[in-house]
């Protein structure tokens, strides 16, 4: 629910769960040392960055399996907080046959939670009225 200045990195272990406070503290201490002693990968171990489109599709399919009904005939207003749900929520509810109007779905790296999202319900309330939606759903920027 934080503005961009307060956002950071969440670390997860190989088991898929967040690291313990002690493990996070150890990482912070390594980063705060004056001398850079962190190991650096090289060659094939360097890694790559890729857009895992298939992962998004798998997650949408998983979420759809948890919902017993479709939303045919419902007009849903979505506030994606210019965050993690921006590329996900609209596809999910459209796949469930809802009529969708969305706001806060254009993240630019700086506008997360900026006047939108679950901490600014007044923006969604006005949007629901303007779009004559049946219901509005607001998310926070990191979708937790």
How would DSSP label each residue in 42-102? -GGGG------HHHHHHHHHHHHHT--S--TT-EEEEE-TTSGGGGTHHHHHHHTT-EEEE
- Total count of domains within the chain: 1
Query: Is residue 43 included in any domain, yes or no?
Result: no
Q: What is the CATH number of the domain that holds 77?
A: 3.40.120.10
pLDDT tens sequence across 59-102: 999 999 999 888 999 999 999 999 999 989 999 999 999 999 99
In a domain, residue 93? The reply is yes
Report yes or no: 75 and 133 within 8 Å, Cβ to Cβ: yes
Range of 130's domain? 53-138
Let me know the angle formed at the C-alpha of 10 by 142 and 141, rounded to the nearest 5 degrees.
10
In a domain, 117, yes or no: yes
Chain segment 111-125, per-residue pLDDT in tens: 999 999 999 999 999
| pTM, 2 dp | 0.74
Tell me the C-alpha distance between 109 and 112, whole Å.
7
What pLDDT, on a 0 to 100 scale, did the predictor assign at position 143?
Answer: 82
3-state helix, strand, coil in the chain (%, to 5): 40, 10, 50
**DSSP 3-state assignment of 23?**
helix
């Amino acid at each position: 629910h934080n503005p961009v200045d307060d956002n950071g990195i969440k670390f997860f272990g190989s088991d898929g769960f967040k690291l313990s406070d002690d493990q996070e503290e150890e990482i912070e201490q390594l980063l705060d040392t004056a001398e850079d002693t962190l190991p650096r990968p090289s060659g094939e171990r360097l890694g790559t960055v890729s857009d895992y489109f298939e992962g998004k599709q798998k997650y949408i399919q998983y979420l759809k399996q948890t919902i017993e009904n479709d939303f045919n005939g419902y007009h849903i207003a979505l506030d994606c907080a210019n965050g993690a749900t921006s590329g996900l929520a609209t596809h999910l509810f459209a796949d469930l046959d809802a009529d969708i109007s969305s706001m806060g779905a254009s993240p630019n790296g700086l506008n997360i939670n900026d006047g939108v999202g679950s901490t600014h319900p007044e923006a969604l309330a006005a949007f629901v009225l303007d779009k004559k939606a049946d219901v509005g759903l607001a998310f926070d920027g990191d979708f937790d």
